[in-house]
């Protein structure tokens, strides 16, 4: 789920701070940086309901594009608890002096050999996975640590480490940095990111077993752990008022060696992965 072009694309004005870019799991889950752009309420419970059409690869490593419409439901308790499909469920157990840290749980959607696997697919898809078999959805549980610094804490670095269960039993680590600033009244955030994965994760999504080789004609491949992907991403948020906002987000990423060397990618996919999406959200309190 993730077109052409990276960039930090432009929207317009905003009266309030927008929600920061957060890492999310790779496709076929919600794309990196997907956000409705609406900041949670400062205190108490708040719910944000939104949607985001996203154009990008049908599956991670695909050369075919697909259009998906992701629902985006977010629940926050002030700046303490957060829950959404892109960000997962987490608790800011530490939240002071620019530091945030705490436990985190996420979901990684499965992969379907018929079309790529997005449960929210509305157009496009891919038949390149035929013979690879389906991959179940996976839960990932771990923690995160984040540091904001610089003038007005414009810079933010973040690291997440999660253990998977279900669709895969490996370890995933997301690393990112972002710089946030204003252009006029718009809020712009952009920076580099990298995802590391253990051998189990790589073999689940990019390995070719003897059975898969016989079904697909692809050579057998035993993937090792390492860099899954690296690249740049950014978004521009324009709150429409204090409760609603639109956000344009984009990313350009390249698969790391263990994934890119797979016959699945070399013969049926591509290393470069680009995404473009537009999110809208409306927040209300409880």
**Per-residue tokens: 119:** 């449960």
Q: What would the 3-class secondary structure string for 136-188 be?
A: CCEEEEEEEEEEEECHHHCEEEEEEEEEEEECCCCEEEEEEEEEEEEECCEEE
Q: pLDDT 10s digit of each residue in the chain, 286 long?
A: 333 333 333 333 333 333 443 433 344 455 655 666 666 766 789 999 999 999 999 999 999 999 999 988 999 999 999 999 888 999 999 999 999 999 999 999 999 999 887 788 999 989 999 999 999 999 999 999 999 999 999 999 999 999 999 999 999 999 999 999 999 888 999 999 999 999 999 999 999 999 999 999 999 999 999 999 999 999 999 999 888 999 999 999 999 999 999 999 999 999 999 999 999 999 988 7
Which helix or strand (DSSP H or E) is residue 281 part of?
strand 272-285
The candidate with the shortest Cα–Cα distance to 248, out of 260, 258, 235, is 235
**pLDDT score for 32:** 56
**Reported pTM:** 0.86
The separation between CA 46 and the C-alpha centre of its own chain, rounded to angstroms, equals: 23
Q: For Cα atoms 90, 147, 74, give the angle at the middle one, nearest 5 degrees.
A: 30
């Amino acid at each position: 789920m993730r077109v052409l072009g990276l960039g930090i694309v432009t929207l317009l004005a905003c009266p309030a701070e927008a929600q920061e870019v957060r890492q999310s799991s790779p496709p076929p889950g919600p794309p990196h940086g997907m956000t409705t752009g609406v900041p949670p309420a400062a205190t108490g419970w708040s719910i944000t309901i939104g949607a985001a059409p996203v154009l990008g690869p049908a599956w991670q490593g695909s050369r075919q594009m697909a259009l998906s419409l992701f629902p985006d439901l977010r629940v926050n308790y002030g700046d303490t608890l957060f829950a959404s499909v892109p960000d997962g469920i987490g608790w800011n157990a530490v939240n002071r002096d620019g530091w945030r840290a705490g436990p985190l749980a996420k979901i990684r959607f499965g992969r379907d050999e018929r079309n790529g696997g997005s449960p929210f697919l509305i157009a496009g898809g891919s038949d390149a996975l035929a013979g690879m078999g389906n991959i179940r959805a996976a839960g990932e549980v771990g923690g995160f640590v984040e540091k904001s610094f610089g003038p007005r804490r414009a810079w933010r670095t973040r690291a997440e480490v999660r253990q998977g269960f279900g669709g895969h039993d490996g370890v995933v680590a997301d690393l990112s940095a972002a710089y946030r600033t204003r252009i006029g009244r718009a809020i712009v955030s952009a920076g580099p990111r990298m995802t590391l994965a253990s051998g189990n994760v790589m073999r689940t999504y990019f390995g070719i077993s003897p059975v898969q080789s016989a079904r697909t004609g692809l050579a057998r491949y035993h993937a090792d752990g390492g860099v899954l992907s690296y690249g740049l991403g950014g978004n521009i948020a324009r709150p429409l008022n204090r409760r609603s906002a639109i956000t344009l987000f984009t990313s350009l990423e390249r698969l790391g060696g263990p994934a890119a060397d797979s016959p699945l990618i070399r013969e049926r996919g591509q290393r470069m992965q680009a995404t473009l999406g537009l999110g809208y959200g409306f927040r209300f309190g409880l």
